[in-house]
Amino acid sequence: MITREIVISYMAENYDVQPQFVFKVCFLLHLQQR
């Protein structure tokens, strides 16, 4: 299962990732928690 810590660490290592992708991942994680 993907946790928020993994996403944050991934974003820290790959900071040049497109903001749209990051927003999409965070949005999907938010929907998963319901």
Tens digit of pLDDT for each residue in 6-26? 777 777 776 666 677 778 888
**Given this model, what pLDDT does residue 14 score?**
67
Rounded to whole angstroms, how far apart are CA atoms 29 and 26?
5
Query: Structure pTM?
Result: 0.40
* Cα–Cα dist 33/19, whole Å: 21
In terms of residue numbers, what domain contains 26? 1-34
Query: What is the pLDDT, as a whole number, of residue 1?
Result: 62
CA–CA gap between residue 4 and residue 23 (Å, rounded)? 13
Task: Work out the number of other CB atoms within 10 angstroms of the CB of residue 8.
Answer: 11
